[in-house]
Structure 1
């Protein structure tokens, strides 16, 4: 064996370093989650996913902190104050599920001006300095009507259950529903706000039902299908086709009806685990990666033949879910380039 030692010149070392991408170390970076609402199973699952994935990243030393905060009321002014407090606390990135697409823009701009990365998801913001992660909520509305048009080509009367008034998600899903209805034989004969919560939806539907004609279907936004079914079951009406939103109680009711009488529908929603994608996107931006400002993720759909499998993996009181890894986030980022 040769005893000769090969030496690499300083110039060669510098050339190798220069050719390699230099990324920031995020082990000392602190990320905060600003959430405006936690009053339904989707939001609870979203927070649980954040704690699981972001908490593991903290334990592994990927980041120094990943602290979640939820406002007491769904008020944009309160969330803006929350974000301003995060700025004062010196967080390096703020991940936001926003109460309004525009009302938080001032606080978001303040964060950006302070050198803080802002990533919005689900309820996104329109401030140009922020990143946005969303499904195509308008398409989600269209897809509901497309599914119903295939089932009922002659059309019929629809009841629309909306979400939280004034929130981007509610506006977009509703707009998609109305756009698609215009190209069909359906007619929206009533609309109520269910606030994405089963108890609110049940009360709202029960209140409007006496004034409505026969319904062929109910279009929804998630967190409202089971409540609608309960309200209608309490009457002598035939059960219409209710579009579901991936909540466990919706899937369980659907499975019971399917077994009893062959009830058919579909279920779709954004996965609560999108919060974990937003976490990893924020981490990647802090790590020096070039990330497009607008990222899209597919919504999670449960079809008739996949119902039992989805229900089996969805905990009671929760929502069908997908959580994202760092590699998943990199793939989403790459797909947007």
Structure 2
């Protein structure tokens, strides 16, 4: 019965009914139809009118920003931090719009992150960025910040608080595309292992829901197992190795949430299980493997390029601080599909198979280019040109 329901959801998504969730009527109709369609939108994704539509900050720039990170132990977080510290901070300090960024780490402990958010507010942060957190656990601290005039911005996943501003790809759509691509890769028949991210986080759960729907488009695809890779190569490698050791039967493909595909590739190779197709995201080492083996997979989907994700959130935050007025609670972008031909244009055969770096998609393809982002604000303007 579950498979039938997932198939029905997937077929409805392909048909694109055009039924929109409440609160997106001010957006470009094509964007609303593509990314805010109820049939392929996480049912918990907040898409109502933003509470910060008429917001004006307590003071002008330069602003102090808090980054309450929940985790630092994978290549994605390292790449996002590198972009923040070495690209974003110098640029926006030079523009005179940023005084400093204060970074905290909670190591996946909700209670610690709640305390850190409150401390950042009390220490004078003008806005706070979060990443990839539990969708409900932080809501009280988001309200605490809002009551003091401090907006909270959740990137790469959503918070359900009506006071949060969220940005990400539509993970359910992205997961659906990945699952469907794997089903097509296998000719519509075979056994598939699913490697989730961090269960309980919105980005992981939304994407996994989409993956299952995409796989279900082929009735002869069977999901034979599921493990949590925790978006970390070392963890995913260990979990997949254990699964392979205890499940010697036929395995035809593995769908994995980045950043863990490098670990999964290594686990398959070390187990001697042959050329099992593994879904590849944005890790350059895994993309390099595909670059050197053109027939390995048919396509790659970029769902959360870290440098682009933090740039997108930064631009949304700066626009909000400048009083541009976000229209909706969640600003969503499209997953980006890469073919092998696309890959050859950005990576040559002398690439590094062990690279832990990430592909950067760029502003125009990831939504922080003004031509896309302007539509999500009531009073759009170039945030870099702001003069108080």
Q: TM over 0.5: same fold?
A: yes
Q: Deviations over 1:166-216 (max 9, x none)?
A: 211111111111122233121110111111111111111110013152122
Q: Who is 1:20 aligned against?
A: none
Residue 192 (structure 2) aligned to one of 123, 134, 158: 158
Q: CA deviation at 1:157?
A: 0.5
CA RMSD of aligned residues (A): 2.4
- Superposition deviation, residue 307 in structure 1: 2.1
Report the CA distance shift for 1:95/1:208 in structure 2 as closer, same or farther (over 3 A).
Answer: same
SS at 1:234 equivalent: helix
Match of 1:334 in 2: 374
Matched position secondary structure for 1:48: helix
Corresponding position of 1:73: 107
Contact 2:232 2:259 in 1 (8 A): yes
Say if 2:298 is the partner of 1:290: no
2:224 is paired with a residue of what secondary structure? strand
TM-score for both structures, normalised by structure 1: 0.85
Q: Which residue of 1 aligns with 2:240?
A: 205
Q: Alpha-carbon deviations, 1:225-270, whole Å to 9, x = none?
A: 2221211112342321111111011112222333xxx423432231
Residue pairs, 1:116-195, within 5 angstroms: 116-184=150-218, 185-195=220-230
CA distance in structure 2 between the aligned counterparts of 1:257 and 1:153, rounded to whole angstroms: 19
The answer as to 2:148 corresponding to 1:114 is yes
Q: Distance in 2 between matches of 1:88 and 1:275?
A: 24
The answer as to 2:278 corresponding to 1:238 is no
How far does residue 283 in structure 1 lie from its aligned partner after superposition? Answer: 1.2
Uncovered stretches (5+) of structure 1, i.e. residues with no partner? 1-22
- Tell me: CA distance 1:295–1:219, structure 2 relative to 1, closer, same or farther (3 Å): same
CA gap of 1:128–1:277, structure 2 versus 1, over 3 A, is same
Q: Are the aligned partners of 2:291 and 2:340 in contact in 1 as well (CA < 8 Å)?
A: no
Write the distance in 2 (CA, Å) between the matches of 1:304 and 1:324: 21
1:275 aligns with 2:314: no
Change in 2 beyond 3 A, CA 1:56/1:305: same
Q: What displacement does 1:119 show?
A: 1.4
3-state SS in 2 of match to 1:328: coil
- Residue 28 (structure 1) shift: 2.9
TM-score (norm 2): 0.74
Q: SS where residue 171 of structure 1 aligns?
A: helix
Q: Following the alignment from structure 2 to structure 1, what is the Cα–Cα distance between the partners of residues 93 and 182?
A: 45
CA distance in 1, matches of 2:297, 2:132: 34
Match of 1:318 among 353, 357, 364: 357
Is the CA contact (8 Å cut-off) linking 1:271 and 1:320 kept in structure 2? yes
Unaligned runs of 5+ in 2: 1-55, 378-388
Q: Following the alignment from structure 1 to structure 2, what is the Cα–Cα distance between the partners of residues 249 and 223? A: 11
In structure 2, relative to structure 1, the CA distance for the partners of 1:302 and 1:314 (3 Å cut) is: farther
Aligned residues: 310
Larger Rg: 1
